[in-house]
Structure 1
Amino acid sequence: MNIGELAKRTGLTSSRIRFYERAGLLQAVDRRANGYRTYPPQAVLVLELITTAQQAGFSLDEIRKLLPPGLDRWDHAGLVEALRRKVADIEALEGRLKQSKAQLVALLAEIEAKPDDMDCAANARRVLSHVLGDKAGGGEIPIGDGGLLAKRTRRRVATAG
C-alpha cells in the first residue's frame, strides 16, 4: 500500500509516517522504481503499536528497543518488564501529582480565605506569613480550617490576590 492509504488507515499524517520510518521504528518499507514508498499490511499494526505506546508514555527510544524487527519475534520477557516499569513510573507520577494537587488545593483555600476588607497585597502578605511561618519547623504548615501545606509550596507562592 502507498503512504496515502497507510495514512488513511492509521489516522496519521504522511509526514508522521515518514518520521517514524527515519527514526527506525517503521521498517520493511520498499521503494518502487519511481521512488514511491510501499508498505506491507503489517505497517498498520506497527503504527498502531507505536501510537499506543506513545500515548502510554513510552519514548521513541523505548519503543525502538521494544519493537522487534518482525512482529513474529517479540522478546516476551523484555516486553513484560518494560510494561511493568512503565506502570511503576505512572504510579509514581500519580503519587507526585496527588501530592501537588493537595498542596495547590490547600494553597488555594488559604488564598480564598481572604477577609472581605483585605486587599490583594495584604492577603498575599497574610498567606506568605502563614506559608513561611514554619521556616525552622517540620515539613508541613497548618493552614485555614485544619489543612496542611507542605513547605515546598511556599516557593510556588508569588502573589495571593
Structure 2
Amino acid sequence: MRIGELAKLSGLAASRIRFYEASGLISSVERKANGYRDYGPEAVWILEIIAGAQAAGFSLEEIRHLLPVGQNNWQHGELLDSLKRKVAEIEVLQKRLEQNKVQLLVAIESIESKPEGMQCVENTQRVLNRLREEANGGNGASWLNPAGEG
C-alpha cells in the first residue's frame, strides 16, 4: 500500500511515517519503479504499536528495542520487563506529582489566608515557612527543597 493509504489507516501523518522509517522503526520498504513506497500490511500494526508506546511514555529508542524483528519474533521477556519498568516509572512520577500538588495546595491556601493588614513581604516569609514545615512533616522533599535537605 502507498503512504497515503497507510496514513489514513494508521491515523498518522505521512511525514511521521517517513520519520519512523528514517529512524529505523519501520523496516525499509520496497520502492516501485515509479519511486512510490510500497508498505506491507504489517506496517499498520507496527505504527499502532509505535504510537501507543509513545503515548505510554516510551522513547523512540526504547520502542526500537521493543519491536519485533518480524511478526513472529517478539522478545516476550524483554517486552514484559520494559512494560513493568515503565509502570514503575509512572508510579514514581505519580507520587512526585501528588507531592507537588499537595505543596501547591498548601501555597494557595497560605496565600489566600493572608492575615488582614500583613505586608506582602511578611506574608511571603509566612508562606515559605509553612511550606517548609509541610515538607518537613512529610518526607522533607518539596518543590522548595527537592532533595529533602535542610
Deviation per CA, 1:14-70: give whole Å up to 9, x if none.
100000000000115110112111100110100000000001111100100110121
TM-score (norm 2): 0.85
Match of 1:159 in 2: none
User: How far apart in 2 are the matches of 1:6 and 1:151?
Assistant: 48
Instruction: Name stretches of at least 5 consecutive residues in structure 1 with no aligned partner.
Output: 142-147, 157-161
What is the correspondence of 1:29-40 to structure 2 with a 5 Å cutoff?
A: 29-40=29-40
Is 2:148 the counterpart of 1:152? no
| Bigger Cα displacement from structure 2, 12-21 vs 95-104 | 95-104
Number of residue-to-residue matches in the alignment: 146
Letter aligned with residue 97 of structure 1: L
User: How far apart in 2 are the matches of 1:103 and 1:126?
Assistant: 14
Give the secondary-structure state (helix, strand or coil) at the position aligned to 1:152: coil
Distance change (3 Å), C-alpha of 1:149 and 1:125? farther
Match of 2:7 in 1: 7
Contact 2:100 2:142 (C-alpha < 8 Å) held by counterparts: no
More strand as a share of residues: 1
Deviation per CA, 1:68-104: give whole Å up to 9, x if none.
1212110111111111111111111111111111111
Give the secondary-structure state (helix, strand or coil) at the position aligned to 2:40: coil
TM-score (norm 1): 0.79
Instruction: Name stretches of at least 5 consecutive residues in structure 2 with no aligned partner.
Output: none
Q: Aligned-residue CA RMSD in angstroms?
A: 2.4
| Bigger Cα displacement from structure 2, 111-120 vs 72-81 | 111-120
Contact 2:103 2:131 (C-alpha < 8 Å) held by counterparts: no
Match of 1:22 in 2: 22
Match of 2:136 in 1: 140
